Structure 1
Amino acid sequence: MTAAGPWPRCSFVADAAHDPREGTAPPADRWFLVEHGGPWGRVPLSQSGIHPAAVAAISAWVATEAGRLVLVRRPGRAPGPTEDVVHGDTPGRPRRWFRVDSRPGHESIRTGTFVDEAELVEAVHAPGVPYVGPLHLVCTHGRHDTCCAVRGRPLAAALAAADPAPVWECSHIGGCRFAPALVLLPHGYVLGGLTAQDAPAVVRDYADGRLDPVWMRGRSSLPPAVQAAQHHARMATGATGVDALRPIDVVAEQQADGSPGWRVELADPACSVRLHERRVETGRPLTCAATVPGWMRVFELVEVRPTTTDHGALRDMDT
């Protein structure tokens, strides 16, 4: 069975292979969300019929701000597995934009509305108004990867049934083999493989300031090695707070065999995590659209140990 066939799909194979999720959150210090009913092109910003001036302005913002653009829409009907929902943006209807800062210590959401997509040229820098409460994004981008649609839509529907206000379907996040992907904003935590049955409790915990590391891929504003270190530290210490295990310092360490390694110093609770980074050839395509075998970066845990380091004397990554 090949990746081009109907089954097995990439996320089901990754589940069976127990591909490690930690350290796989896509990089983004900030997020810009644009309400767009669809259809979404495979490359959402440039292939979804968005006004060219808005595409240019958002692209420049993404490059300058280490940001990420996602198109969003409210959960809707379920078409075929490779189609996108077409809600039909009614002409003249105000739509929403959100600009999110996910950097540790700077978490915030600003929002506004637009009617003409050309208004988005100003929106990327507009003050907007504060948005109170979280946003829950579920990737359902079927034109990018079938697994995102097949597994994402039931998750989005389950979350919307429990509390529709913060829930949006969104375009491609990355790491399709970990579908469904759930992004918790403003912190930028990315989860993978979450079931529709477990999801409502997970987002309630997030609203209460807690995280379950079982589903965690990482925080988008942190480097992959730090994402992985936080995961292993959460598993070892039992820390669940959204602001727990604050990264203080990251040191590259070469392993005895010449391969890369990392020592990550964390605070609250204070601990030191050592990781061995490996490139693993999987022998299989890693997405439903891929046609050749891929490889993945894996962070193997060497040790987690408590520390009494004066973290104030170390470089603070939050500044």
Structure 2
Amino acid sequence: MTLPHCSAASQEAGESLTGTAVESVDRWLLLEVTDPWAPNAIDTEALSGQVRERLDRWLGDVPRSRLQLIRRPGRPVQKKAFIMVSSDRGVVSKVELDRYEDLLGLSPEGMSEHSAPATQPICLVCVHGRRDRCCAQHGSAFFRALQGRGLDVWQTSHLGGHRFAACALWLPAGLMYGRLRPEDADSWVSARANDALGELAKFRGRCAYDRPTQAAEILLRSRLGEQSNDAITWVSTTASAADTWEVQFRVSQRTESVRVHLEHTGISRPASCGKDPEPMTRFVADHHGALSPL
């Protein structure tokens, strides 16, 4: 018996994308690998054991970091791009590698010599079919829809949340989206060009935040109708009870407080293709209100 695609099952179950992004990451290591990617990206055959060990050390040495393999079909590859993106500073460091073993002589400190302010966003679209078939199907279609729009767009390895395919990451801001379809390309690119977040129902969250904070930001933006990326600034997150958090944001000259709760829906769906159904949760806002100005 053929099981349904996890993305279709998730959508049919009404699963919310709010607060589902990769969490607590603001350093992104992007390595261009045109060879086939292993299901676990770092195990890709093109990367030697020494290179894998070096990448593991980078991830240990660079706080709040994550590795993504990237590629761009049709790009002539004589040298391989290695890019470090700092979301919190809006800085991109890029070097060209003759071979992957060149990474053995690189350090995070050495990469800083190649740093420059990000002048163009980098867009990553997950197409990691060996990890999940939904990523290959929906990710590849959305990637094609972004072609010819003047974007620095790459295919990438697993971004988390196969069932939310197509998943895309906008750097350096670290904004993650899901359930993107080719027909969304125009409005999505237009929103980001104007530093707006776009359709909040497809916004999974800001990867620098933990998931309760991601959810609180989206729920607050939905209530206020606020689209501007810079209009809301995180202040604090405090666990106040089981599965409940108080999150404060600065909005203009006031502080807004949002209480979010992780609710068990009583509905099950598979987390990825071929897996058994698992209980589904969602974040809901219990309370919000304006506090005194900062």
Cα shift at 1:283: 3.1
CA positional deviation for 1:129: 4.1
Alignment partners' CA distance in 2, 1:226 and 1:211: 16
CA–CA separation in structure 2 for the residues paired with 1:288 and 1:49: 26
Secondary structure of the 2:213 match is helix
More displaced 10-residue stretch of structure 1: 133-142 or 116-125 = 116-125
| Structure 1 residue 75 displacement after superposition | 4.2
Find the aligned partners of 1:47 and 1:237 in 2 and give their Cα distance: 45
Corresponding residue of 1:217:
204
Deviation at 1:309, TM superposition (A): 4.1
Q: Secondary structure at the match of 1:160?
A: coil
User: SS of 1:294's equivalent?
Assistant: strand
User: For the aligned residues, what is the CA RMSD?
Assistant: 2.0
Q: Percent identity?
A: 29
1:73 aligns with one of 57, 71, 75: 71
Q: Which residue number corresponds to residue 123 of structure 2?
A: 136
TM-score w.r.t. length of structure 2: 0.90
* Structure 2: segments with no counterpart, 5+ residues: none
Alpha-carbon deviations, 1:216-261, whole Å to 9, x = none?
A: 100111010100000001101111122232110112112xxxx321
Equivalent residue for 1:50? 47
1:151 aligns with 2:141: no
- Tell me the distance in 2 between the aligned counterparts of 1:232 and 1:301: 7
**1:271 Cα deviation after fit:** 1.2
What residue in structure 1 maps to residue 7 of structure 2? 11
Q: Relative to structure 1, is the Cα distance of residues 122 and 242 closer, same or farther in structure 2, using a 3 angstrom cutoff?
A: farther
Given that 1:178 and 1:192 are in contact with CA atoms closer than 8 Å, whether structure 2 keeps it comes out as yes
- Aligned partner of 1:98 in structure 2 is 83
User: Which residue does the alignment assign to 1:314?
Assistant: none
Letter in 2 for 1:302: D
Aligned equivalent of 1:81: none
Report if the CA contact (8 A) 1:281-1:294 is conserved.
no
Partner amino acid for 2:21?
Answer: A
Other structure's SS at 1:151 match: helix
Q: Any idea what SS the aligned residue of 2:261 has?
A: strand
Number of residue pairs aligned between Structure 1 and Structure 2: 285
Match of 1:62 among 48, 51, 59: 59
How far 1:214 moved relative to its partner?
Answer: 2.5
Alignment match, 1:26: 22
Question: 2:125 touches 2:166 (CA, 8 Å); kept in 1?
Answer: yes
CA 1:102–1:289: 2 relative to 1, 3 Å:
farther
* Counterparts in 2 of 1:121 and 1:10: CA distance versus 1, 3 Å: same
State the TM-score, normalizing by the size of structure 1.
Answer: 0.83
Q: Does 1:114 align with 2:97?
A: yes
Q: Residue 80 of structure 2 contacts residue 99 of structure 2 at CA under 8 Å; is this kept in 1?
A: no
